[in-house]
A and B are shown apart, each in its own frame.
Chain A
Amino acid sequence: MSDTALIRLSGITKIYGRGQAAFQALKGIDLAIDAGDFVAIMGPSGSGKSTVMNILGCLDTPTSGAYEFEGVHVEQLTRNQRALLRRNYLGFVFQGFNLLSRTTALENVELPLIYRGAAAAARHAAARAALAQVGLEGWEHHTPAELSGGQQQRVAIARAIVTQPTVLLADEPTGNLDTHTSQEIMSLIGSLNRDHGITVLMVTHEPDMAEYAKRIIHFIDGSVDSDRRHEDAA
């Protein structure tokens, strides 16, 4: 682990529930991720992958431990500061899409830009470009209900990358896609990492998809089981 790490987790635990029903989903995670890295997180269902992603994405708070982002202790930030961190540095692709219903793809993708205060023209252009990047030209005015699962997934990805975030956090971004589309999405994410220097953290079940990453971390039972560099990856 280097001192220049973009993200550093030390002794992160997460306990859901209380008393009898308490469940420890994370049992002391130590992790350092450098800027520009492309990390795949793998592991069996229930091993805590989504839990750690939510903590990294500032959507949830750890029960204990320290989370440093560019040297800033995230666990000490206020709600608003964490919201600003999400707004300005992070892009998140959810396991379950989480698009606004009855809202067109274009408006969904525009949303993070509205909160960033972008001007209307720039916003439209960026949103269209992001949709084109995920191969959804011509679908701008469809609402989620009018899109297939894979298309919704791609809208969610477009929404996460439209702001050119420092870190892209993707929880099973290809979980609903066929092999061909999955590979397209992975090469898109790969190029975002390679050409735009976006740090990528991605959860996946599929070894094929993990091949695109530079580093693969295995979770088992709320702990890091293995952590290896993938030398052949681009």
Chain B
Amino acid sequence: MLWNTLLLALRAIRRNLMRSFLTILGIVIGVAAVITMVTLGNGATRSVSDQISSMGSNLLIVIPGQRFGPGSEGAPKFKNADVEAIRNQISAIERVAPVVSKTATAVYQANNWSTVVTGSNDDYFQAGNWELADGRTFSESEERAGKAVCVIGETVRDKLFGRQNPVGGEIRIKQFACEVIGLLKPKGQSAMGSDQDDTVVMPLRTVQRRLSGSQDVNRLTVSVKAQTSIDAVKKQLTLLMRERRKIGENEDNDFQVMDTRQIAETLTSTTRILTMLLGAVAAVSLLVGGIGIMNIMLVSVTERTREIGIRLAIGALEREVLLQFLIEAVVLSSLGGLIGIALATGASIGLAGMMGVTYLFDPTINLLSFLFSAAIGVVFGYFPARRAAGLNPIDALRHE
């Protein structure tokens, strides 16, 4: 009986190709959208955490304020003296790079380019895994004197110098001229999608004096010596900073010391929320697809009440007619689900490549979407057919 009913269901699908196609379409789009969104979101999350952990596990970042991101502006910034204090008082620390950043327009001859100017010291390059393509980094005397020298990233070179060698050239930033002494090797996009090579690095003093106009330091990047406990260093660093910022016994920190794992968590929690949001939007489209199926099934059952009457009249049992409609609906919606999964896999791989995020196959979301589409078929295929199959054959036959 099952085999015969399957045969009847397949014949009915073949008989109504257009309707079958429309039924499938809603599910295909819904399933493909959900899977693609979630897959890309997961990929982005993975890319962010991968990139941050590739920064190395021996890195600590100290920022003012109680949390990472916007809203930390109120807390006092760090001072130049903090850098010296950390370097001198915590022996397990290898490097301390203060960071001040400003956006500014850099000009070379007829070219100008708006970029981020970072003020720091020589440690900045080591802690940030930067390598030189050409030239050199700052000398201690240049740092101390706040000389107008800079090391530029690949993007800035490209925009200002084109193919030329920039080392020895002179760019203008705001009112002052600045000699290019080094060119950094390209690093590509950051975890958050910004161009890391779009950068100009100068000695800290130079930026403070000529660009930011204050003695503030926005951030400290600290690298810890190998073979030392990062947690112990974090504690020492926290204690030292509390003391220097005169925070009372019962007061909370007005700064944060984060290791790379924590940064990764903070950043990935953002992309995770984004994934959920995108997934939710896509789920709505799946729901709309489901309503489409419901609609088509309802219309088709009304249309096919006469057909149901014929089948009953020539000896079909009510349950055979129902089973046929059920199989039809399940075959259509699972076919839609499978096509959707195939489409989503293609789209995810393609888009992940274009966006530079990792492609991760997520079995859960694939399975869930598939089951959901099959369930839609069951619900919307079965229930409308039940009413028609419960009629007297003659009443079903007379149905207009």
**Which A positions have Cβ atoms within 8 angstroms of B?**
54, 57-61, 79-80, 83-84, 86-88, 90, 92, 94, 98-103, 107, 111-112, 114-117, 159
Q: Per DSSP, are chain B's interface residues mostly helix, strand or loop, or mixed?
A: helix
Query: Which residues of chain A are near B311, meaning CB under 8 Å?
Result: 111, 115
Query: Which residues of chain A are near B64, meaning CB under 8 Å?
Result: none
Which residues between 193 and 209 of chain B lie within 8 Å of chain A, taking CB atoms? none
A177 to chain B, nearest CB (A): 21
Which of A61, A100, A102, A114: most chain B Cβ within 10 A?
A: A114
Q: Please report the total number of B residues contacting A with Cβ < 8 Å.
A: 26
Cross-chain pairs A/B with CB under 8 angstroms, 6 sampled: A61-B392, A79-B318, A83-B317, A86-B315, A94-B397, A114-B8
Give Cα A36 to B286, complex, Å.
Answer: 60
Query: Which residues of chain B are near A99, meaning CB under 8 Å?
Result: 310
B309 to chain A, nearest CB (A): 7
A216 to chain B, nearest CB (A): 25
Query: Which residues of chain B are near A101, meaning CB under 8 Å?
Result: 307
Contact B11 A59 (CB under 8 A): no
Give Cα A88 to B319, complex, Å.
Answer: 17
Query: Which residues of chain A are near B8, meaning CB under 8 Å?
Result: 114
The 10 closest A-B pairs by CB, nearest first: A87-B315, A59-B394, A60-B394, A59-B393, A112-B314, A102-B15, A86-B315, A115-B315, A83-B317, A114-B4
The answer to the question of B110 belonging to the interface, with a C-beta cut-off of 8 Å to chain A, is: no
Give Cα A88 to B395, complex, Å.
Answer: 22
Contact B315 A116 (CB under 8 A): yes
Report the nearest B residue to A51, measured CB to CB.
Answer: B394
Report the nearest B residue to A118, measured CB to CB.
Answer: B4
Give Cα A132 to B67, complex, Å.
Answer: 86
Contact A92 B313 (CB under 8 A): yes
Give Cα A136 to B194, complex, Å.
Answer: 75
Contact with A86, one of B16, B309, B313 (Cβ below 8 angstroms) = B313
B162 to chain A, nearest CB (A): 68
B140 to chain A, nearest CB (A): 88
